[in-house]
Structure 1
Amino acid sequence: MNRWKEVYKIISGPEPTIDHSPRQMVWRKNKSVLWHYPAAEKKYKIPLFFVYSLFNKPYILDISPETSVIGGLTNRGYDVYLLDWGQPGYEDNDIGLDTYVTEYLERAVKRALRHSGAEEISMVGYCLGGTIASIFTSITELPIKNLIVATVPIDFSTSVAPGKWTEGMKDGMVNIDRLADVYGTIPAEYIFMMFRSLAPFYISPYVSLLTRAHDSRFVDKWRRMNMWLNDATPFAGEAFKQFFNELSKENKLVNGGLVVAGRNVDLKNITCSFYAISSANDNLVLEPQSLPVMDLVGSEDKTYQVVQAGHVSLALTGLFAPIVDEWLSSRSEKLEGAMA
């Protein structure tokens, strides 16, 4: 009974407060904001630029001081930039991938380069952010030194979606365009239900909470993750159409034919150092969706690694920063006199 009382108190209580790592806003456009997180003690010339998914909010990357992805990297000597896409409103329904990539991402990277004074930059894309970062790197002329993608969907010939959904979308029975045209910008509630439907038996986290309600550290992490999982973001209608039609349905990143802002997207154009990370226990982006990227990119220096984590836990357990640092440190031009 005491455990049940504690669980009730946790679920019915106020949401936890997110204490961000030290940061400052250095650029904004519409609802999007570019944040700069300065290194605690700068060791590397080349800063990192994070691109997160359009489906979720990026504070999962900086959700607690103990496990923060961004904090872990700034503490290791990297300057970090994060593009927060913001929450599109109805008036943003015509924003598509073209606009996001060229008007938002490309301009934000230019601003990060100017702000940092660096000649090159390393990009880190998480989930769909990795897909967008790969598209961007394949068409931009900006100096991308390294590209890191984690739990990235590239090959959409396979997915965790129910088979009937996939068949319905491919044969036209499921009409994504009509949904987007009716709502303009897809409401956050629909995005939440879409992801929840991919894991319909959402009970195990609550079983874990009941079992470990006495563990204050576990409860704190659980509350933060639960808040983030329930905090979906709206999705601009035009980008929603492109994502489902051109990427998911027609699989153009693998089959070819994707054009963004008049530029042909060919992952062979990615020739910078490349690092792909997959999670062994990922129940949202399967490894067969990520692995083909290794044959598609044109980089000579490319690494693929599978880690024992889930899609979200990779960012919650403190694993991500040391894994990235191990690969990235030798590719980031260490400052003279910087301590190891």
Structure 2
Amino acid sequence: MATETPFKGLIPDVDYQKEMERWANVFKLLSEPEPKIGQTPRTEVWRKNKSVLWYYPAKQKKYEIPLFFVYSLFNKPYILDIDPKSSVIKKLTDMGYDVYLLDWGTPGYEDKKIGLDTYIEKYLKTAVKRAIRHSDVEEITLVGYCLGGTIASIYASIAEEPIKNLIVATVPIDFSTIVGPEKWAEGFKNGDFTIEHLLDVYGVVPPKYVEMMFRAVGSPIYFTNYTTLLNRAHDQRYVDKWRRMNKWTLDQVPFTGEAYKQLGNDLMRDNKLVKGEFLVGNKKADLSNIEANLFVISGSRDNLVLENQSKPIMDLVSSKDKTYLCVESGHVGLALSGMFAGIVDQWASSRSKQLSK
């Protein structure tokens, strides 16, 4: 007489071969060296303190006006060149653009007094001048990603250098909305939440603090990255992408104390950029001064920078040529997937002075 177990149908069948492959990949991953990143050929053009200006020559130059990338101060910019198959920079050089990238570097305690205004006036402005001289051109295209887009927009509003095009992606401009837990955002706006005492001690926002901050903003419940790895460890393509993304996610950069105070007080709390009150030295960063061709890109799945934080720049600038695009992507996925290169090329190709064949 057959006996039926009461648990029949409740416990799913297990694909033992798949499980063995999954766990074998996990153990292999934990013992392997870190993946190589930033493999696109480049040369150093200029250096100041910890910052470096990198030049990536076009494989076969097709456009006269080069692209100058400005990335966030929170993270390392190699997300733009993280994998040869999806590298934003490699794709653009293959398309015929000369590319420059300003790598802010890793600040230490001795850099605690470097503010956003100093980064813009002493670093970005000089780096753009060097890129223009190095490429022997009369104009340049500025490309800012995330907070790098905010910095690029501020610079463009006071720049004397010839900026032909301004491209900003996933860019926070209007800080009247702060992404994150409601009480946390309310406390920040009211000045109840401050880390100025911590900055007085450390001089910089420690990398671990930066990581925790992004976790709090990105998701109320945090699951370790290894949970998603374990779930899909049998998929080698996913594992390769996960390794690079995990390295970048954990490779946070310290944020200088003065820059963080300006970001927190002047931009996030007082929203001075939208009001035209943010100062760079003795100059007001009035976005209405921007006349360059403007391209703004948002991600519909971006949970760090919302559309209503980016879109206001469209009405604040004086540009006659303005384009806004919202794509199906998250904040990092836009760069990680490599799709950003194609989006930039589609818009910039007709605005970059194609060289005659």
TM-score of the superposition, structure 2-length normalised? Answer: 0.91
Distance, in Å, in 1 between the alignment partners of 2:215 and 2:223 is: 11
Counterpart AA for 1:329 = S
Distance, in Å, in 2 between the alignment partners of 1:336 and 1:253 is: 40
- Note the C-alpha offset of 1:35: 0.1
User: Hey, what does 1:155 align to over in structure 2?
Assistant: 174
**Which of these residues, 87, 92, 95, is aligned with residue 111 of structure 2?**
92
Change in 2 beyond 3 A, CA 1:291/1:11:
farther
Is the contact between residue 159 and residue 286 of structure 1 (CA under 8 Å) also seen in structure 2? no
Counterpart AA for 1:203 = F
- Note the C-alpha offset of 1:14: 2.9
User: Hey, what does 2:3 align to over in structure 1?
Assistant: none
Gaps in structure 2 of 5+ consecutive residues: 1-18
User: Hey, what does 1:212 align to over in structure 2?
Assistant: 232
- Cα distance per residue 1:25-44 (max 9 Å; x no partner): 01000000000000000000
User: Would you say 1:54 and 2:63 are equivalent positions?
Assistant: no
Counterpart AA for 2:258 = E
Distance, in Å, in 1 between the alignment partners of 2:348 and 2:38 is: 26
- Give runs of aligned pairs for residues 5-44 of structure 1, distance below 5 A: 5-11=24-30, 13-44=32-63
Q: In terms of mean alpha carbon deviation, does 49-58 or 172-181 score higher? A: 172-181
Distance, in Å, in 1 between the alignment partners of 2:152 and 2:323 is: 17
User: Hey, what does 1:314 align to over in structure 2?
Assistant: 334
- Note the C-alpha offset of 1:64: 0.5
User: Hey, what does 2:216 align to over in structure 1?
Assistant: 197
**Which of these residues, 336, 343, 353, is aligned with residue 323 of structure 1?**
343
User: Would you say 1:236 and 2:278 are equivalent positions?
Assistant: no
Counterpart AA for 2:318 = G
- Note the C-alpha offset of 1:12: 5.3
Tell me the percent identity: 64
- Cα distance per residue 1:309-337 (max 9 Å; x no partner): 11001001121111110000000001111
Distance, in Å, in 1 between the alignment partners of 2:224 and 2:74 is: 23
- Cα distance per residue 1:224-250 (max 9 Å; x no partner): 001100110001110010000000000
> Helix, strand or coil for the counterpart of 1:248?
helix
Is the contact between residue 176 and residue 244 of structure 1 (CA under 8 Å) also seen in structure 2? no
> Helix, strand or coil for the counterpart of 1:43?
coil
**Which of these residues, 165, 169, 177, is aligned with residue 184 of structure 2?**
165
Point out the structure with max Rg over C-alpha: 2
**Which of these residues, 322, 332, 346, is aligned with residue 302 of structure 1?**
322
- Note the C-alpha offset of 1:4: 3.3
User: Hey, what does 1:138 align to over in structure 2?
Assistant: 157
- Note the C-alpha offset of 1:189: 1.4
Change in 2 beyond 3 A, CA 1:36/1:267:
same
Superposition RMSD in Å? 1.4
> Helix, strand or coil for the counterpart of 2:297?
strand
Distance, in Å, in 2 between the alignment partners of 1:80 and 1:170 is: 38
**Which of these residues, 282, 285, 292, is aligned with residue 305 of structure 2?**
285
**Which of these residues, 170, 181, 196, is aligned with residue 177 of structure 1?**
196
Change in 2 beyond 3 A, CA 1:103/1:245:
same
User: Would you say 1:65 and 2:99 are equivalent positions?
Assistant: no
Gaps in structure 1 of 5+ consecutive residues: none
- Cα distance per residue 1:98-121 (max 9 Å; x no partner): 110010000000000010001100
Count how many residue pairs are aligned between Structure 1 and Structure 2: 337
TM-score of the superposition, structure 1-length normalised? Answer: 0.96
